[in-house]
Chain A
Amino acid sequence: DAGVTQSPTHLIKTRGQQVTLRCSPKSGHDTVSWYQQALGQGPQFIFQYYEEEERQRGNFPDRFSGHQFPNYSSELNVNALLLGDSALYLCASSLNGAGGLNEQFFGPGTRLTVL
Chain B
Amino acid sequence: AQSVTQLGSHVSVSEGALVLLRCNYSSSVPPYLFWYVQYPNQGLQLLLKYTSAATLVKGINGFEAEFKKSETSFHLTKPSAHMSDAAEYFCAVSDPNQGGKLIFGQGTELSVKP
Please give the residue numbers on chain A whose beta carbons come within 8 Å of chain B beta carbons, in ascending order: 4, 31, 33, 35, 40-45, 48, 55-56, 58, 90, 92, 94, 96, 99-104, 106-109
A101 touches B44 (CB 8 A): no
Chain A residues whose CB sits within 8 angstroms of the CB of B46 once the complex forms: 103-104
A100 touches B45 (CB 8 A): no
Which of B44, B51, B96, B105 meets A90, CB within 8 Å? B44
Closest to A94 in B: B100
B43 touches A100 (CB 8 A): no
Chain B residues whose CB sits within 8 angstroms of the CB of A31 once the complex forms: 100
A43 touches B100 (CB 8 A): no
Decide if B11 is an interface residue (CB 8 Å cutoff): no
B100 touches A41 (CB 8 A): no
Chain A residues whose CB sits within 8 angstroms of the CB of B98 once the complex forms: 56, 100
A16 nearest CB across to chain B (Å):
28
Bound-complex Cα distance A96 to B51 (A): 16
9 nearest A-B residue pairs (beta carbon): A42-B104, A106-B43, A100-B100, A106-B44, A99-B96, A108-B43, A100-B99, A43-B104, A107-B43
A60 nearest CB across to chain B (Å):
13
Please give the residue numbers on chain B whose beta carbons come within 8 Å of chain A beta carbons, in ascending order: 4, 32, 36, 41-46, 49, 51, 90, 92, 94-107
B26 nearest CB across to chain A (Å):
15
Chain B residues whose CB sits within 8 angstroms of the CB of A99 once the complex forms: 32, 96-97, 99
A101 touches B45 (CB 8 A): no
A33 touches B43 (CB 8 A): no
Bound-complex Cα distance A114 to B42 (A): 21
Bound-complex Cα distance A35 to B41 (A): 15
A50 nearest CB across to chain B (Å):
8
B100 touches A33 (CB 8 A): yes
B83 nearest CB across to chain A (Å):
22
B104 touches A58 (CB 8 A): no
Bound-complex Cα distance A33 to B46 (A): 15
B44 touches A100 (CB 8 A): no
Closest to A99 in B: B96
Bound-complex Cα distance A33 to B25 (A): 22
